Amino acid sequence: MAGTGPTITVDGRGLRVVIVAGQWHDVITDGLIAGATRVLQASHAEFSLVRVPGSFELPVACKVALENGADAVIALGVIIRGGTPHFEFVSNAATDGLTRVALDTGKPVGFGVLTIDDEQQGLDRAGLPGSKEDKGEEAASAALATALVLRQLRGQIG
């Protein structure tokens, strides 16, 4: 699998991370979860997984996790374009909501929500055998790296 993003290896010891994943399109989402899990295990971060019905529900679950002790969350989901404006509504709500959660809590949200035109695009980005990318891995790497930067900044400023 050829990754397009940077490979970030960090020591996540002492970090508590929650993977929050949608249940829709479980084959793709399970691939995203596997990629995130590989990164978290390699970093030695403490982590757990919770599932929500879909991508629309990701922001509220991520906010609660961060308000209850998580140092970072990784939001994973799949939104496939259909023939109605529903795709845009859910995509915008998830993106805007997760951005707001990160800003309101001051904690990182690894963004692994795939917005795709068809199932094949999701399979190509899910980190499954034969996939071209691993967006779950990328989201987890970004969340961990950002959590460590924020910890460093808080130590320098505080």
Q: Phi, psi at residue 7, to the nearest 5°?
A: -90, 120
- Are 45 and 16 a contacting pair, CB within 8 Å? yes
Tokens of 18: 């929650």
Q: Would the annotation count 80 as a binding residue? A: yes
CB count in 10 Å sphere of residue 22:
25
Q: Would the annotation count 8 as a binding residue? A: no
Active site annotation includes 25: no
CA terminus-to-terminus distance, the chain: 42
Q: Residues 44, 48, 86, 117: which is the catalytic one?
A: 86
Q: Would the annotation count 157 as a binding residue? A: no
Q: Which residues are catalytic?
A: 86
Q: Which residues are annotated as a binding site for (2S)-2-hydroxy-3-oxobutyl phosphate?
A: 83-84, 125
Q: Which residues are annotated as a binding site for 5-amino-6-(D-ribitylamino)uracil?
A: 24, 55-57, 78-80, 111
Q: Which residues are annotated as a binding site?
A: 24, 55-57, 78-80, 83-84, 111, 125
